[in-house]
Amino acid sequence: MIKYEVIIYWSAEDEAFIAEVPELPGCAAHGDTQESALGSAQEAIRLWIDTAKEFGDPVPEPKGRRLILA
């Protein structure tokens, strides 16, 4: 289970839902629905963590605050 905060919002410019993970710099995803954006974000989180570990970069502990669907 992914415990990082994910913020999902509609982007008129991109014509898609954007899912950002503020605790992981640069970690974001998108989708046609809120659910698909969240699913893509979960995969992006896994990839972000794997890449950080591969390069020996620190991985922040999740604060696990909340899931925001806007």
Q: What is the pLDDT of residue 41?
A: 98
Q: What is the pLDDT of residue 2?
A: 73
Q: pLDDT band for position 68 (50/70/90)? A: low
Tell me the C-alpha distance between 11 and 28, whole Å.
13
Q: Are strands 16-20 and 67-69 parallel, antiparallel or unpaired?
A: unpaired
Tell me the C-alpha distance between 16 and 45, whole Å.
19
Q: What is the pLDDT of residue 63?
A: 87
Q: What is the DSSP letter of 26?
A: T
Q: What is the pLDDT of residue 64?
A: 64
Alpha-carbon dihedral angle through residues 36, 38, 43, 48, given to the nearest 10 degrees: 140
pLDDT digits (tens, 9 = 90+) for 14-67: 999 999 999 999 999 999 999 999 999 999 999 999 999 999 999 999 986 655
